[in-house]
Amino acid sequence: MIKNNLDLILVAVVALAVVMYDVTIDWVLSLLHLIFELIHIAYEWFELGIEHSVEHLFHTTRHGSQIVTFYILVLIACGLIYGFWRVLPRWLERIKQFANDSWVRRKTEWELYWLSLTLTKKISLVVTALSVAYIASFFVM
């Protein structure tokens, strides 16, 4: 059942995402906030590990270990920035090529799919998209 009507389900989901844009934006921002929080917790854990290691290995005070930890983190950040600076042009070229290939492939697939549909399937696809957008518009107003 789902495999037969996957195109209708996909059109309905995209129409709901477009019509109920506020909910979509909220979900995306909530996901980004969760990812940021997890990265922050991982960074704090890493920083605390370095600080305690320096404090125990070199028998420094808390303030001294915090200063050493800061400079270690600055050194790591500079190394990461340099590494990204070296590989970023290749990554951007690959991403650009992948996006172009994906766009051409997906456009061809959708065009062939649309041409393969019968008139009744085309009408049902358009009616489904329009009815989902119409019903979802009640939630926005």
Q: Are 125 and 8 in contact (CB under 8 A)?
A: yes
Q: Model-level pTM greater than 0.75?
A: no
Residues 106, 110: Cα–Cα separation, whole Å:
6
Q: What is the pLDDT of residues 66-106, one digit of tens each?
A: 999 999 999 999 999 999 999 999 999 999 999 898 889 88
15: buried, middle or exposed (CB in 10 Å: 19+, 13-18, 0-12)? Answer: buried
As a whole-number percent, the residues of the chain with pLDDT over 70 amount to: 96
pLDDT of amino acid 135: 85
Tokens encoding 65: 């270990």
Q: How far apart are CA 9 and CA 17, in angstroms?
A: 12
> Position of tokens 């125990």?
56
For residue range 96-140, list pLDDT tens digits in order: 999 898 889 889 988 999 999 999 999 999 999 899 888 878 877
In degrees, rounded to 5, the angle at the alpha carbon of residue 90 between the alpha carbons of residues 89 and 96 is 90
- Percentage of the chain lying above the pLDDT 90 cut: 65
Of the candidates 124, 103, 102, 139, the residue with the CA atom closest to the CA atom of residue 12: 124
